[in-house]
Structure 1
Amino acid sequence: MIHIKTQHFSLNRILLLAIGLWPYQKSKFVRLQVIVIYGILISFVIFQFTALITTKCTLDFIIKIISTAIFFSFYIIKYNMFWINIHRVKNMLEQLQDICDKLKDENEIAIILKYGNNAKHCTAIFTSLAICSTFIAILMPIWPQICDTVSHINGSRQNHTIYIVTEYFIDKKEYFYLIILHINAVMCIGATTIIATGTTLLGYIIHVCGMFKIASYRIEQAMAPKVLENINVTNRTMIYKKIFYAVEIHRKAMKFANALISNFEGSFLLLIILSVISLSLNIFAVFRNALLRNKEGFFLHLIAMNIIFSFLLIGNYAGQEVINHSNHIYFTAYNVQWYVAPLRAQKMILFILQRGNKTYSLNIAGLYVPSLECFAMLTKASISYFTVLQSMQH
């Protein structure tokens, strides 16, 4: 018996519980938790834009504000997309559980367990990377104070520095640690949100790939040479059933993937557009800080750039895996000895071959298909916008 929530999404459950987005947990405390998190995230983005009111605006300054503000807006978008679709997140978990409950073949159970473990390992790896990145980002503003305390080089206290530009309309020196607390809270909540929501969606996609793999396995078993050598009444019935079940799970996988895209379609499009803009701005900020020899600003924007780049790469790689697994079903159906099978079985195989002529992919609003080719296109677009910004400096 496979328990999706406890076996494959156990770490996702902990992360989602931490930010009030676990769909099976509804209480007054969770509602309060959501309100507080929204307040912390939205207020931080607002306080970044208020810096444009009190500071003389130059191109470098505007780009610095917009690049960080858009980056932190990702946290709000990702949090909001899960919160407003929380019942759909729950429904998709239950659909996966229902599909797994209907698996009886030990090899098919082993396949879905393998893909479920892959999803769990991905979550663990990305969580570890997020913890390291967040820890480095949190240390940056207070590192000079730590070095000063340890080394005792200076008798006086070093100046407080906050590398993310904000305007709280208060004395920054006096309330330095309160401002740092707000920034650190945003980073921790944001990192948890990105990892929790992102790995949950990735887990869904990995399970779709697992279902495609099971469909290929069922076709191979139905059309095995030993079965086709002796086609009697029993074998004929078994062939029909296995091919029917292969078509059925193939259809369920596509239905599940289409539902996943349609549930978050608007948010996905917004994230893609903002990712390209933010990546371009952060590349520009990295380049400018390198020229000005501003190490703190350089590393801050470098971390943001790497996070966005990784986000685009992982999302498009997952889309590419769906395409590859879908194509594998077509290749499997084409390579088996379908012409030796009974006529009814041939018609069912022909149905799969006809479906395979058109590559199945995750299509976002008919505008974007996640794949490695599209990832290269987005990266190229980001670099092009960076060169435009760079040319404006001269």
Structure 2
Amino acid sequence: MARRVITNMDRAKAFYNDKSSHYIPHKIILFAIGQWPYQSTVSSLFMLSLTIILGPIVFVPQVIGLYEVRDKISDILECLPPIIFDLLTMVKLSNLIINRNKMKKLLTDLADDWRNAGSMEELRIINRYAKFGKTFAFLYIIYIYLSSAAFSLLPRFSASTLKRIPGTNKTIGIDMSPFIADYKLDVEKYYHLILCHSCTSIFVQSTIILGPQLLFVACIQHVCGMFDALCHELSEIMKNGDLDINLNPKLRDDEVYKKLSEIIKKHNHIIRYSKLIEASFTISLLFQITLNMLILSVTAVQVLVYANVPHELFRSGSFSAAQILHLFLECWQAQQLIDSANRVGHVAYTTHWYRVSLRSRKLLISIMMRANSPCQITAGKILTLSFPSFSKVRKINTILVKLSKGQYFNNDVILICQ
């Protein structure tokens, strides 16, 4: 009987199927939208088709609804945030589909790194980062779905036009739907069906947003854990030693040199992994930041307009807060990557380099020089994500809001240009 060859993909499947895996939430969310790299083709196509029908396809009736209310400024403001959010979900989903092979490579390499951990300490460090990623995933899932519930279950009441709810004696505004949309159907006859699809679409699109976000955070946390483990290993190699050393020992006797050679290989692997993360998400992030700024500008105006309408204020405020948090989290994770990568060069610089051979010192210089090359996440190779860039985006958003209110301040524009 022929023996079955176990591939890296088989090992990765087993790793993520383990009930004790820290990546179960990520698997469930990505599987639900048909983008888990290890699910079957039939399952992937079925879940993807269902996702599109229940989610992004609502973009069509929303655009029709926008056209119908094109003469009313207040209604246009109501239409824009959900439509822009639809575009954002389509960008996120398209990025997962287009870069499916890269996503699979990210997850396969992640599983391989766990299996190839060189020591218990390295395993403990990456396990700590993975636990943080899992905790973050649960909290973020809860927050996003609660925000979705707040937006969909607090509908827009309209006293201008009343319709009778089919099967009851109650009347309600035709704007009971969480957003303005024209399905080109008889509202009275298909009221419950339209309302059900509108609310469902919000939760489906929230799931689409969650998928790549959780994968992004999981990969960033993993690479930060690998950098941290590398720093620990580097510091341990030269923790002890004698000042009276042989500066030119034979190569076979130079244990520090051998360990440093392995560290350089690991360092290069981690850098390649971080570049793969950047390549997988950079275009998506560019569109996301652009659309996020548009959403935040419109919802900020809505918050001001509905300051005296509690349920509308809560809807717009929760939607706006979710977008701000989404942008902040990606900048925060990118900043963590920058800090972790820079830490390697700092550790190499502060080690007891004078206790190793001359050839080992050359390797330390090589590590420091390699650490100077930035590991970062960019939005379309244009904007480097970090805390300063988040602050700059928020300032730009504030100016857009002021412009929309007719308040133009030259000093603000000058500040951003600087």
* Fold-level similarity (TM above 0.5): yes
Question: 1:78·1:194 contact (CA, 8 Å) conserved in 2?
Answer: yes
**What is the rounded CA distance, in whole Å, between the counterparts of 1:236 and 1:97 in structure 2?**
34
Matched, 1:135 2:149: yes
How far apart are residue 22 of structure 1 and its match?
1.2
Instruction: Count how many residue pairs are aligned between Structure 1 and Structure 2.
Output: 381
User: Which amino acid is the alignment partner of residue 129 of structure 1?
Assistant: Y
Aligned ranges for residues 336-351 of structure 1 at < 5 Å?
336-351=351-366
Structure 2 matches for 1:263-342, cutoff 5 A? 263-290=280-307, 293-342=308-357
The superposition leaves residues 215-240 of structure 1 with CA deviations (integer Å, 9 ceiling, x where unpaired) of 11121011112476766879963311
Distance 1:32 1:288 in 2: 42
Q: 1:357 to 1:256 in 2, by over 3 A?
A: closer
Change (3 A) 1:236 1:184: farther
2:297 alignment partner AA: S
Distance, in Å, in 2 between the alignment partners of 1:268 and 1:56 is 30
- Which residue in 2 is equivalent to 1:88? 102
Structure-2 residue corresponding to 1:79 = 93
SS of structure 2 residue aligned to 1:141: coil
- C-alpha contact 1:215 1:250 (8 A) present in aligned 2: yes
Structure 2: which amino acid aligns with 1:16?
L
Kindly tell me: are residues 235 and 218 of structure 1, through their superposed partners in 2, closer, same or farther at Cα, counting changes over 3 Å? farther
Q: Which moved more, 1:82-91 or 1:317-326?
A: 82-91
Deviation string 1:320-355 (CA, Å, 9 cap, x unpaired) is 001111111111111111133111110011112223
Within the candidate set 380, 393, 401, 1:386 is matched to: 401
Root mean square deviation, CA, Å:
2.7
Alignment of 1:211-230 (within 5 A): 211-226=226-241
Q: Describe the shift of the 1:392–1:69 C-alpha distance in structure 2 as closer, same or farther (beyond 3 A).
A: farther
* Structure 1 pair 366–43 and aligned structure 2 pair: CA distance change class (3 A): closer
Q: Using structure 1 for the length normalisation, give the TM-score.
A: 0.89
1:118 pairs with 2:118: no
Measured at CA, do residues 86 and 56 of structure 1 come closer, stay the same or move farther in structure 2, by a change above 3 Å? closer
- Conserved 8 A contact 1:38-1:76: no
Quick one: structure 1 residues 90 and 26, their matched pair in 2 at CA, closer, same or farther if it must change by over 3 Å? same
d(CA) in 1 for partners of 2:213, 2:387 = 18
Asked whether the equivalents of residues 4 and 93 of structure 1 are also in contact (C-alpha less than 8 Å), the reply is no
Instruction: Work out whether residues 301 and 401 of structure 2, in 8 Å CA contact, stay in contact via their aligned partners in 1.
Output: yes
Displacement, 1:132?
2.1
Partner of 1:66: 80
CA distance in 2, matches of 1:66, 1:143: 18
Q: Which runs of 5+ in 2 are unaligned?
A: 1-10, 159-167, 409-418
Q: Does 1:244 align with 2:261?
A: yes
The corresponding residue for 1:255 is 272
Q: Determine whether 1:48 maps to 2:54.
A: no
Which range is displaced more, 353-362 or 375-384? 353-362
Deviation at 1:143, TM superposition (A): 10
In 2 relative to 1, CA 235–11 (structure 1 residues): closer, same or farther, beyond 3 Å? farther
Distance 1:39 1:228, change over 3 A: farther
TM-score when scaled to structure 2? 0.84
In structure 1, what residue type is equivalent to 2:186? D
1:196 to 201, 208, 211: 211
State how 1:176-187 maps to structure 2 within 5 Å: 176-187=191-202
Aligned to 1:150: none
Q: Distance in 1 between matches of 2:205 and 2:67?
A: 26
Does the 8 Å CA contact 1:218/1:243 hold for their aligned counterparts? no
Secondary structure of the 1:159 match is strand
Q: Percent identity between the aligned chains?
A: 20
Q: String of CA shifts for 1:155-207, please: whole Å, max 9, x gaps.
A: 95241422411112233344222111111211121122222221111100110
Check conservation: 2:278, 2:376, Cα contact below 8 A.
Answer: no
One-letter amino acid of the counterpart of residue 124, structure 1? F
Amino acid across the alignment from 2:289 = I
Structure 1: 5+ residue runs without aligned partners? 145-154
CA-CA distance at 1:15 after TM superposition: 1.6
